[in-house]
Chain A
Amino acid sequence: MSIEKLLFEKLEGHFVEKVFPKGVKVKVAPQALLKSISHNFELDLHVVEQASYSAGAVPERYIRNLNTFSQVEQAKLFSSKVAMVGLGGLGGHMLESLARAGVGHIVACDGDIFEPSNLNRQFLSSESTLLMKKSAAAVELVKNVNPAVSFEVESQFLEGDQFDKFISGADIVVDCLGGLQHRSQLKDAASRNNIPLVTACVAGWAGIVATVYPGDASPADFFGDNDGLEETLGTPIPAISTAVGIQSAEILKILSGKGAGLAGKALMFDLSGMIFDTVTL
């Protein structure tokens, strides 16, 4: 018996119907059922969730995503692939957000280790992960938060043409880099591969988020060779989590088919004065 047929038989008849406002009915696959099938047949939870979607049911863990995302949109998230560069301030929160949302395939890279100066903001850093590779902490996070995500990580800093191979097959590239050095290289690789890029930069209370389709301008295009002001202004957590919230909303809207809100634009914010402003680049 094929795995697909086996899974269909094990899932069939065990879904729970949930009725949403406006009478929208959704079949829900209970978490315990998916976990037990995964365990009993030694199947990756990703494969079991895939079978659930194929049978027309949303895994229970995503039920609070509905109806912000429709059942069809949630399934699109599961079949999507995100390539994210950087697992530091922006990247740690981003990885958590995308994994919880139910993005099915994520690849990430970072060659760094955690240092005490990361503890003020980086989600993957903790007393227990100090001096640990950020990539190793990322693997643990995904395993704990959503083991149904197909997650691959590279423990190295990529540059230039290396980005092309890394982002190959991705639906979206996410720039979670710090500093300016590799941002334009990543943007160029995304453009060469015809993949949209969602980028963010922060310092102090301020930040900027933009969606960059091939040929579009990115905020970093205008930063010259400045090293940025974060070395003097620091990077406290409110600007980081605000930027990631905007960035991940944009990513999930694009992947689900709702469409980008910041294509050719940027959302600038300054939390010191609670200013949020969307501008055209």
Chain B
Amino acid sequence: MKIKLICFGHLTVYHSNNDCLEIPDGSVTSDLPVLLGFPAKDVAMYFVGEQRVSADHEILNEDVVKIFPPITGG
């Protein structure tokens, strides 16, 4: 299935926000780091649409998924 994935911060290194992403049917949010090749700890929060979801949230075709890394600078 095809999703729109929007990465924030350094996660854009692993995926261009201009591109759609093909992922296996039945994928959950925590599969995304594995598919893109970065550690799961580099993701602090997953969102589908405007809502935060858990790491085991099942992704559906054409979902808009956003991933935000742990950043604590100030």
Contacts and interface: CB of A to CB of B under 8 A. Distances in A.
Given A229-B9, A233-B9, A279-B66, A223 B50 contact: no
B74 interface: yes
Chain A CB count within 10 A is highest, among B9, B52, B70, B74, for: B74
B50 A208 contact: no
Contacts of A208: 68, 71
B37 interface: no
B74 A90 contact: yes
B56 to A, nearest CB: 15
Contacts of B52: 279-281
Contact of A179 (B12, B66, B72): B72
Interface in B1-56: 6, 8-10, 12, 17, 41-42, 44-45, 47, 50-52
B10 to A, nearest CB: 6
Interface string A219-255: 1101110111110110100001000000000000000
Interface string A114-155: 000000000000000000000000000000000000000000
B72 A203 contact: yes
Contacts of A268: 8, 66, 68
Contacts of B73: 89, 178-179, 201-203, 228, 230, 233, 235
Dominant secondary structure of chain B at its interface with chain A: mixed
Contacts of B12: 270, 272-273
Nearest to A206: B9
Interface residues on B, range: 20 to 34
Nearest to A203: B71
Interface string A251-281: 0000000000000000010101101011111
A59 interface: no
A207 B69 CA distance: 10
A157 to B, nearest CB: 14
B17 A273 contact: yes
Given A206-B9, A222-B45, A233-B10, A279 B51 contact: yes
Contacts of B74: 86, 88-91, 175-179, 200-202, 235, 240
B58 to A, nearest CB: 19
B43 to A, nearest CB: 9
13 contacts: A176-B74, A183-B72, A202-B74, A206-B68, A206-B69, A208-B71, A219-B44, A226-B70, A229-B42, A230-B72, A235-B74, A278-B50, A281-B52
Interface of B: 6, 8-10, 12, 17, 41-42, 44-45, 47, 50-52, 66, 68-74
